Amino acid sequence: MSVRQANRFGFGINQSRQINYDTSDRKVRDYVTLREPSFRLCFACGGCSATCTAGEHISFNLRRMITLIRRGEIDLLRDEVTRCMLCGKCMLVCPRGVNTRNVVAMTAEAIRKLDRNEL
């Protein structure tokens, strides 16, 4: 039974909460990795999101963003990626030398292209 059918029968089943790694779309990941290879280096320590000025005010979390991009879950990021001020503090904190500012810039670009079917 598909999700839609289930909804029709009133089970109220929403779309699966699982990350389906086999069907998820990792074009954004590939786009960002190609243009900013240091994207691969993140080991999710959270230093960037700890120091982040924007993250204090609103949901903007580069560490989570990178993880979600890697999993192909980009829907959540569409708004979030626009909140970065590019101040570069995260870059000075990152213990892996990820070029964080360019990761943000490339992610924003990739999502824009994705939405225009250009990716």
The answer to whether residue 63 forms part of the interface with another protein (CB under 8 A) is: yes
> Of 97, 95, 96, 119, nearest to 32 (Cα)?
119
Interface pattern 1-40 for another protein (x via CB under 8 A):
-----------------------------------xxx--
Q: How far is the CB of 52 from another protein (least distance, A)?
A: 7
Element (H, E) at 70: helix 62-71
Q: Is 90 exposed, middle or buried (0-12, 13-18, 19+ CB in 10 A)?
A: buried
Which of 28, 52, 66, 110 is close enough to bind another protein by CB under 8 A? 52
Residue 65 token pair: 């963003």
Q: Choose, by CB under 8 A, the member of 28, 29, 31, 49 that binds another protein.
A: 49
Question: Smaller CB distance to another protein: residue 24 or 53?
Answer: 53
Restricted to residues 82-111, the positions that interact with another protein (CB under 8 A) are 82-89, 92-97, 99, 101-102, 105, 108
Task: Summarize as ranges the residues that interact with another protein (CB under 8 A).
Answer: 36-38, 43-58, 61, 63-64, 82-89, 92-97, 99, 101-102, 105, 108, 112
